[in-house]
Amino acid sequence: MKTTGRRSLILIILTVAFFFGLSVFLYGLVTHGGAWAIQPFNGHLTGASTSSAGRVLDRNGTVLAQTKNGKRVYTDDLETRRAMLHAVGDSNGFISTGVQSVYCGELFGYNPITGLASPTGKSAGCDINLTLDASLCRLAREKLGDRNGVAAVYNYKTGEMLCMVSTPDFDPQNPPKDLDTNKAYSGAYLNKVLSSTFIPGSIFKTVTSAAAIENISDLDSRVWNCPGSITVNGNQITDIRSYGKLHFKDALAKSSNVAFAQIAIELGTERMSAEAQSMGFGHNFSLDGISCAKSSYSVKGASEDELGWSGVGQYTDLVNPFHFLVLMGAVANGGTPVMPYMVKSIVQPLGLPQKTGSGQMGSELLQPSTAERLKSYLRYNVTNQYGDSMFSNLAVCAKTGTGEVGGGKSPNCWMVGFSSNSSTPLAFVVLVENSSSGSLSSAGRIASSLMTAAAKVVS
Amino acid sequence: MKFPFDLSFLTSSMISVMLFLFRIIVPILTAVVALKCFHSLRLGKRRESPVMVLEDMTTHQVIPVLYWENSIGRSRSCDVVLRDQTASRAHAVLMRRESGWFVSDTNSKAGTFVNGRKVLGRTPVCPGDVIAMGSTVLMLKSTEEVGAAPAQPPRRCAASPFGLLFLTFLTQALLALQVAFSKGKFSLSFLYPLAVLAVLEWALYLYSIKILGHVSFELETLAFLLCGIGLAIQSGVDLKSSWTQVTAIAAGIILYRIMIWFLGDMDRVMRWRTGIAVFALILFAVNLLFARSRNGARNWINYGSLSLQPSEFIKIAFILVGTSTLDRLQTYRNLSGFIGFSAICMGALFLMRDFGTACIFFVMFLIIAFMRSGSVRTIALALAVAAFGAFLILKIKPYVAQRFEVWRHVWEHTGDAGYQQVRVLSYSASGGMFGVGVGHGCLRDVFASTSDLVFGMVCEELGVVLAVIVVLILASLALYARSEASRSRSTLYSIAACTAGGVLLFQTCLNVFGATDVLPLTGVTLPFISLGGSSMVSVWGMLAFLKACDERTYAARRSRK
C-alpha cells in the first residue's frame, strides 16, 4: 500500500495544473476585469439593467459619448467623433489611452470589488468633463485632412489641454470592417500625441540651443561659417543652401544644420546628453495618469559626425509630441512647466464632484535664464523668418523642423511653439508625417489656424 | 399630500443592500463549512501506527504492519521487505479484513506456508501463527505482545456532523433568500426545489448517523453545500430545470447509498467486475444504436420523457473495473485486459463524437493505469496514442480545430467562435467579488449557461469569491483522496478514490478553464453545480468512491455488531 500511496502523487500533477489555470484566470480578472466588463454586448451596461453609464463631455458641455437605450452613442457630428476618438476612446476598448478605457471604473460604475453590481441595486456611472475643446479638435483634424500626424494645444498657465488629435482615426460609432486589414488605418489605435515617438529634425535645435546658451559664454557675439556643407569625419553635413556667415540667432532662424552640427560637436556628447536629460529626454511624462512614450537622445559611442547630426535632430533622436508640448510650456513659463491635464472633473450622478483636475507644477526643465533667452530666439524665428502674420497678435515663439525619415518616405514636418502673450498662454505641437510640402506650409499652416482658434477659446 | 421621496425606491434599495450583505456572508459560511469539513476529515484519519507486527523467528527483528493490505517480498517497494534471496520480489500479501488477518501467495516461486501448510488462495492467520516465505519465517503478533505502543483508537470528528450540516443548511437558507427575490419581488414558489434539497440532506443525515450509526458526514455535507449553490443558480434561471436538478440529486443520493453498500464487500466487487465490464460495453452498444444526437455528440438515450447519458454511468463502471485489491494486483500484473476495455470505451466515445467525455475517460485510464502498474512507460505510450488521437480529431473535425484557433484570441471573435468565452469573462468581471444577485445576471441567456458555462454564472450572480471557493472544494476532494491512498482498507478503495477525485478535479478544470479561455475545450459539466440529470447522479457515485476510501466508513458498521 506504500507504493499505492506514492503513486497517488500523480494527482499532484493535476492539482498543480489546476492551480496554474486558476491563477491565469484570476490574474486576468484582476488586471483586465474592467476591460472584460466594459463590452458593448454586456447586458449590465445596456438594456433594462439598472446601471447606466456616465457621459463624456468637452469643456463647453458638448456630449461626446453617452449611453442611450442601452447603446453607447457618440456625438452626432462625424468629424467631431473622429477628432475626439483618441481622447474619448471607443466602445471596444481598442484605444487603451482613451478616457473610456482609463476611467471605465468611474464612467461605468465598475470596480473590482462589486463589479458592475451595486449594493443598493441602483448604480450609475459618473460624468467626465474634459478640458478639451471639441470644435478645436475638429478643426485640427480637418486641417490635417487625410494626412497622418498629431496636433496638440494646451494652456501653459493653467495646464488645461485644449486640443489633442491624432490621425489616422476612425468613427467609433461605426468602426470600419477593414480596421485591422486596411493599411490606411494602421496606427489608428494609437494616440500618437501620447504613445508615439518621431524623428524630430530641426525642432531638436531648441535643445541644442539651450545647451549652447548654458555652455557658450560668447554665444551672441560668435559667428558661424555656413557654406552649405561641411565635412566631418569624412561625412557631409548639409544645409539646403549656403548661408555665409551667421550669428547664432540667425543660424537658429534659418535652421542651419552646419552651424548646429558644429555647436553640438563643440559641446561634446556629455554636455549634449546632460542638457537633453534635464530637458526631459528619457523621462516618463504622463497625462492624467496615462503614461507617455519617452523621448530619447543617445550619443553614447557616437562618432563626431553622428554627434553633429544628433544636434540637428537626426541620428537616433526620437521625440514624443506630448513631451515637446510640455517643453514648450516650460520655455514659455520660465523653465518650469505646468503639467497638462485633460480631465476637468468627474461628477457623480447626484452632481457631487468626485475628482477635479488641475495643472500641477512639473519639475524644472530649463534654468529660468536659459528659458528667457531661448524664448527670445524663438520669437526672433517667427518675426524674422516665418512671418508674424501667421499668428496675428499672439506674439508666437516657435521652431519648425523636418525630420528625415528615410526609406523612401517624405519627412516629418513639425512646428512647435507658444504664444508669449499673457492673455493667450498657449503652447502647441503640430506634426504632419510623410509631408512633401515643407514644414511651414504643412505644419505651420495648421498651427496658424489652430492657434488663432485656440486664442478665441481662452479669451 | 405627496411624499417628497418615493418610498418604494427606499424599500427596494434596502432589500438590495440586505441581499448584497448575504452574498458576502454566503462565501464566508461556505469557506467555514469547507475548512471545518476538511479539518475534520484530517483528524479522522488513522495514524500510521502498527496494529500488528511480524517477528522474524531467526533474528527476532520486529517488523511493524502498518497498512490494511501489506505487500511482502524482496523488493524494496514492498511494505514488508524480506532480506532473503530465496523470496520472490513480490512474494505475498498480508491483509486485514473484517473477519481477521489473511495471507495470500502472489505467484511466488518458493511458495508461502502458514504453520507449515502451503497457502492456496486466501488463508487466515491468527496471532502466533508462523508464516514462512523462502528461508524467512515470520510470526504474526499483536503490538501489545511485543510491548510496543498500542494502536490508538480511531478519533471522533473534530466538528459535530450536526453542526456542519446545520451551517450548510443556514448557507442554503441565505441562498434561498437570493432566489426568492430573483424576480425582484419575493416569491415563494422558487424555493420549493431548495426546500426539497434541505429535506434530502437531513434525511440522509438521520439515516447515516442515527440509523446506520456512521460517525462521519463531512463528504456528504460538502456535496450538499455545492449542490445548494448549484440549485440556487438553477432556480434563478428556470424552475422546471431546478426540479430536474433536485430529482437528479435524490437519485444520486440513492446511488450513493447503494454504492457504499456494494463497495462494503471487496470480494463482491471483485466478483462482479467482469459483469460490470460487460454491462458497460452493452450500455455503450445500446448508446451507439439508439442514441440521439445533441449539440454534435450522440450521447443521449431517450426513453419516454426520460433522457439519459449512459457515458456518465459508464464512468462509475470504468472505475469499478479498473480498481483492484492488492493481492489481485500483485498476482495479475498484466494491464492488457484493462487497456483493451479502455480502448473499446474510448473508441465508442469517438464514434459518439463525445470528445470531452473521451478526455475524461482517458484521464481515468491514466490514473488507474499508473496507480496499478507505476509504469511510466505505459503512461508515456498512452499519451503518445492520445496525442495521435487528438491530431486525428483536429484533422477530421474542423469545428474542434476552430476552438483551438480562437484559443487565447477570443476577444477577436466576440461574435462567433469566442462568443461564449468572452461572455463568461465579461459577466464574471461584471459580478465583481460578490455577484449581482441570483436571477439578475445576463449570462443566463447564453447557450449552455447552466451547464458548460455555470462557473461564469456563479461568478456573475454570486461572486467570484464563492466561485473560487467552490472549485477549491472540488480540488480539495482530489487532494483528500490522495492523502487517504495509503490509509484506506484496500488498494481497491485507494485506486477508486484517487480516480474519482482526479476525475472530479479534471472535470472542474475542463469546465472552468474551457469557459474562461484558459483551455480550448468546452462541453463538460462542473461537478455538483452544473445542471444535469445523469451527470449529477454520476457525481454522487464518484463521491461514494471517496467515502469508501475513508477508513471510518465501514468501521461504524462493525462497532454495531
Q: Which residues of A touch B370 (CB under 8 A)?
A: 7, 10
pLDDT of A50 over the 90 cut:
no
DSSP assignment letter at B208: I
> For B317, what's the count of Cα atoms within 13 Å in the CB-facing half-sphere?
20
Q: B6 vs chain A: nearest CA distance in angstroms?
A: 14
pLDDT of A37 over the 90 cut:
no
Q: Which of A2, A4, A38 to mutate to test the interface with B (most CBs of B within 10 A)?
A: A4
pLDDT of A149 over the 90 cut:
yes
Q: Which residue of B has its CA nearest to A115?
A: B432
pLDDT at B153: 58
Cβ-Cβ contacts under 8 Å for B45 (sequence gap 6 or more): B483, B484, B487, B551
Compare CB distances from B17 to A11, A17, A120 and report the shortest one's residue. A120
Compare CB distances from B486 to A1, A22, A36 and report the shortest one's residue. A1
Q: B5 vs chain A: nearest CA distance in angstroms?
A: 15
| Residue B24 touches chain A, beta carbons under 8 Å | no
Q: Which of A352-356, A366-370, B272-276, B382-386 has the lowest mean pLDDT?
A: A352-356
User: Mean pLDDT over all residues of chain A?
Assistant: 91
pLDDT at A48: 43
B432 to A34: CB separation less than 8 angstroms, yes or no: no
pLDDT of A14 over the 50 cut:
yes
Where is pLDDT greater, at A51 or A98? A98
Q: Which residues of B touch A104 (CB under 8 A)?
A: none
Measured CA distances, B114 to B108, B121, B125, B142 (Å)? 14, 12, 7, 17
Compare CB distances from A15 to B21, B468, B479 and report the shortest one's residue. B479
Q: Which residues of B touch A33 (CB under 8 A)?
A: 429
Interface of B with A in 118-147 (CB under 8 A): none
A119 to B12: CB separation less than 8 angstroms, yes or no: no
| Residue B160 touches chain A, beta carbons under 8 Å | no
- pLDDT tens digits for range B382-440: 899 889 888 888 887 777 777 888 888 888 888 888 899 999 999 999 999 999 999 88
Compare CB distances from A117 to B374, B435, B502 and report the shortest one's residue. B435
Packing angle, helices B355-373 and B491-515, rounded to 10: 150
B509 to A19: CB separation less than 8 angstroms, yes or no: no
| Chain Cα centroid distance, residue A312 | 21
Compare CB distances from A42 to B426, B506, B519 and report the shortest one's residue. B426
A117 to B471: CB separation less than 8 angstroms, yes or no: no
Q: A185 vs chain B: nearest CA distance in angstroms?
A: 17
Compare CB distances from A36 to B12, B77, B425 and report the shortest one's residue. B425
Q: From CA B279, how far away is CA B276, in angstroms rounded?
A: 5
Q: Which residue of A has its CA nearest to B95?
A: A1
Q: Which residue positions in chain B have pLDDT lower than 50?
A: 1-4, 157, 556-561
Q: Which residue of B has its CA nearest to A33?
A: B429
Residue with cell 504664444: A419
Q: Which of B426, B446, B495, B521 to mutate to test the interface with A (most CBs of A within 10 A)?
A: B426
Q: Which residues of B touch A44 (CB under 8 A)?
A: 427, 430, 436, 442
Q: Strand pairing of B69-73 and B80-81? A: parallel
Q: Which residue of B has its CA nearest to A39?
A: B426
- pLDDT tens digits for range B188-208: 888 999 999 999 999 999 999
Q: From CA A97, how far away is CA A122, in angstroms rounded?
A: 28
Q: Which residues of B touch A2 (CB under 8 A)?
A: 66-67, 71, 77-79, 486
Q: Which residues of A touch B440 (CB under 8 A)?
A: 117
Q: A117 vs chain B: nearest CA distance in angstroms?
A: 5
Interface of B with A in 347-376 (CB under 8 A): 363, 366-367, 370-371, 374
A43 to B432: CB separation less than 8 angstroms, yes or no: no
Interface of B with A in 176-195 (CB under 8 A): none
Q: Answer whether A447's CB lies under 8 Å from A428's CB.
A: yes
Q: Answer whether A373's CB lies under 8 Å from A394's CB.
A: no
B426 to A26: CB separation less than 8 angstroms, yes or no: no
Percent of chain A exceeding pLDDT 70 equals 97
A–B: how many Cβ contacts below 8 A? Answer: 177
Q: B437 vs chain A: nearest CA distance in angstroms?
A: 8
Q: B483 vs chain A: nearest CA distance in angstroms?
A: 8
Q: Which of B430, B434, B462, B506 to mutate to test the interface with A (most CBs of A within 10 A)?
A: B430
Compare CB distances from A121 to B13, B70, B414 and report the shortest one's residue. B13
| Residue B325 touches chain A, beta carbons under 8 Å | no
Compare CB distances from B20 to A15, A49, A119 and report the shortest one's residue. A119
B508 to A18: CB separation less than 8 angstroms, yes or no: yes
The matching CATH number, chosen from 3.40.50.300, 3.40.50.1820, 3.40.710.10, 3.60.21.70, for A201-341+361-458 is 3.40.710.10
Compare CB distances from A3 to B16, B77, B435 and report the shortest one's residue. B77
| pTM of this structure | 0.76
Q: Which residue of A has its CA nearest to B48?
A: A2
Query: Domains of chain A: which residue ranges?
Result: 201-341+361-458
pLDDT at B149: 58
Give chain A as a 3 state SS string. Answer: CHHHHHHCCHHHHHHHHHHHHHHHHHHHHHHHHHHHHCCCCCCCCCCCCCCECCCEECCCCCEEEEEECCEEEECCCHHHHHHHHHHHCCCCCCCCCCHHHHCHHHHHCCECCCECCCCCCCCECCEEEECCCHHHHHHHHHHHCCCCEEEEEEECCCCEEEEEEEECCCCCCCCCCCCCCCHHHCCCCCCHHHHCCECCHHHHHHHHHHHHHHHCCCHHHCEEEECCEEEECCEEEECCCCCEEEEHHHHHHCCCHHHHHHHHHHHHHHHHHHHHHHCCCCCCCEECCEECCCCECCCCCCCHHHHHHHHCCCCCCEECHHHHHHHHHHHHCCCCCECCECEEEEECCCCCEEEECCCCECCCCCCHHHHHHHHHHHHHHHHHHHCHHHHCCCCEEEEEEEECCECCECCEEEEEEEECCCCCCEEEEEEECCCCCCCHHHHHHHHHHHHHHHHHHHC
- pLDDT tens digits for range A80-90: 999 999 999 98
| Residue B485 touches chain A, beta carbons under 8 Å | yes
Where is pLDDT greater, at A430 or A108? A430
- pLDDT tens digits for range A233-270: 889 999 989 999 999 999 999 999 999 999 999 999 99
pLDDT at B150: 54
| Residue B491 touches chain A, beta carbons under 8 Å | yes
Q: A74 vs chain B: nearest CA distance in angstroms?
A: 22
